Amino acid sequence: MNQSIDFPKIGFLAVSMLSILSVFLIFGFIFHTAAPVLAKEGFSFLTGTTWSYADHEYGVFTFIVTTLVMTAITLIIACPLSICTAVFLAEWAPAWMDRPISSMIELLVGIPSVVYGLFGFYILEKVFRYHIDPFIDATLGFIPIFADPTPNSGSGILLASSVLTIMILPTITALTREAMVKVSLDFREASLSLGATKWETIRKIVLPIAFPGILTAVILGLMRAMGETMAVVMLIGNVNSVPKSIFSDGVAMTSKILCDIGYYVSFPEPKSALFAIGAVLLLMEFLFVASIRLVGHYFGRKGLKP
């Protein structure tokens, strides 16, 4: 038996190393380009509310808040919708319904984000301007966050969030369904044999066991919503302010970068500032990926992972 160096193993390790080299390149170049402005602004980069190329002042606070509000609204709509869908597909739907519905939802992933933007801008915008916005404004408008400050436009955070909902729905639905299907039949039968109804079994047994998987699904959906660019640029209205209502226009972190990079890439300081937004986005993404790991670790140790 030849016990010399295992060349294929070293070759495959080298290929893997080259693959992850791209991550280091991304982090290196983004942070290197962002460094001047990050060093100059320090912590006030995160807390400052003015973004002015003329005054050399860069603060991303409003963009971060807009992104977070938009992501939160997206999740508020998307979570119930996709988890209910997943419950139906995993628990109730017979195979002949499960197959086509699952495939149709999966195919939603394949629609390009720029097409979602176009669809939202030309078709949903009218629906929101003439029907949904006035309706919510009339029924719940006495609460400030549901008042419509721009009655003549349908674009804004709610429109962007609604389209983002469709975009992240397949991710959350598919992963939640997978987590629920994995729950062992024994647990369900034990619960059913004690006289629980199917819904009680789902509520008390299946959903708690599948919880880590569902949490991971939601975090992945959240990351996708937060990092989405094209659709958001086309739908959020691009007027920079701290959002006061769900209909406000805003500028998200991603849309700020895309809108300005084309013009400012040849000016060192503005370029650095825009890359600093990218650096913040990258760090947030990094933390979420790490949190998915932690979810797996924490529940894995408690023995709850199915």
254 near other proteins, rule: CB under 8 A: yes
64 near other proteins, rule: CB under 8 A: no
Subset of 101-120 contacting other proteins (CB under 8 A): 101, 103-119
Subset of 33-52 contacting other proteins (CB under 8 A): 33
User: At its nearest, how many Å lie between other proteins and the CB of residue 271?
Assistant: 8
Subset of 134-193 contacting other proteins (CB under 8 A): 166, 169, 173
Nearer CB in complex with other proteins: 68/93: 93
User: At its nearest, how many Å lie between other proteins and the CB of residue 147?
Assistant: 27
199: amino acid identity, one letter: W
Nearer CB in complex with other proteins: 129/148: 129
Q: Which two tokens stand for residue 171?
A: 């991710």
**What gap in Å lies between CA 215 and CA 298, rounded to an integer?**
12
Nearer CB in complex with other proteins: 147/261: 261
- Three-state DSSP state, 242: coil
User: At its nearest, how many Å lie between other proteins and the CB of residue 223?
Assistant: 5
Number of residues that bind other proteins (CB under 8 A): 85
Closest CA to 219 of 180, 177, 168, 259: 168
DSSP assignment of 143-188:
SGGG--S-TT---SHHHHHHHHHHHHHHHHHHHHHHHHHTS-HHHH
Angle between helix 268-301 and helix 207-227 axes, rounded to 10 deg: 170
12, 130, 135, 263: which one contacts other proteins (CB under 8 A)? 12
* Binding segment (CB under 8 A) for other proteins, from list 18-26, 43-51, 53-61, 139-147: 18-26
Computed over its alpha carbons, how large is the radius of gyration of the chain? 23
- The rounded Cα 263 to chain-centroid distance in angstroms is 27
69 near other proteins, rule: CB under 8 A: no
User: At its nearest, how many Å lie between other proteins and the CB of residue 100?
Assistant: 7
Alpha carbon separation from 285 to 114, 236, 282 (Å, rounded) = 22, 21, 5
Per the document, the length of the chain is 306
User: At its nearest, how many Å lie between other proteins and the CB of residue 8?
Assistant: 4
- Three-state DSSP state, 250: strand
User: At its nearest, how many Å lie between other proteins and the CB of residue 144?
Assistant: 29
Subset of 271-290 contacting other proteins (CB under 8 A): 274-275, 278, 281-282, 285-286, 288-290
